Amino acid sequence: MTNWVKIAQVGQIEENESMALEVEGKQLALHFTEGQYFVTDNICTHQYALLSGGYIENGCIECPVHQAQFDLRNGKAMCAPATVDIKTYEVATVGDDILVSL
């Protein structure tokens, strides 16, 4: 059974920005790029760093500490030093509400 949780409102973050969230004890990040919302784990798999403080470019989030990059669509680690993918979550918008599936 899917558990959809409201996490934000449309317009709460700007294009190519991210926002840290804690949802049901999970540290998540909401990202907005190319007109789409994405939700991922917020912790870099290389070394503890908040991805919500990173930079979005070409559909990837770049860790602000060691520049590891992760594809926002599937969480794939795109370059060293990260070798372990991050988890991604299904996102939906209903009206102005942004929901994540946990």
Query: Rounded to an integer, what distance in angstroms lies between the CA atom of residue 62 and that of residue 96?
Result: 27
User: Exposure string (b/e) for 60-95, b if CB count within 10 Å is 16 or more?
Assistant: bbbbebeebbbbbeebebeeeebeebbebbebeeee
Q: What is the per-residue pLDDT across 39-56, written as a single tens digit (0 to 9) for each?
A: 999 999 999 999 999 999
Tokens of 83: 């070798």
Query: Does residue 82 have a pLDDT over 70?
Result: yes
Closest CA to 39 of 57, 26, 55, 48: 26
CATH of the domain at 48: 2.102.10.10
Tokens of 48: 């503890």
Q: Per-residue confidence at 1, pLDDT binned at 50, 70, 90?
A: low
Domain of residue 69: give its range: 4-101
Query: Rounded to an integer, what distance in angstroms lies between the CA atom of residue 30 and that of residue 80?
Result: 23
pLDDT at 2: 76
Domain count, the chain: 1
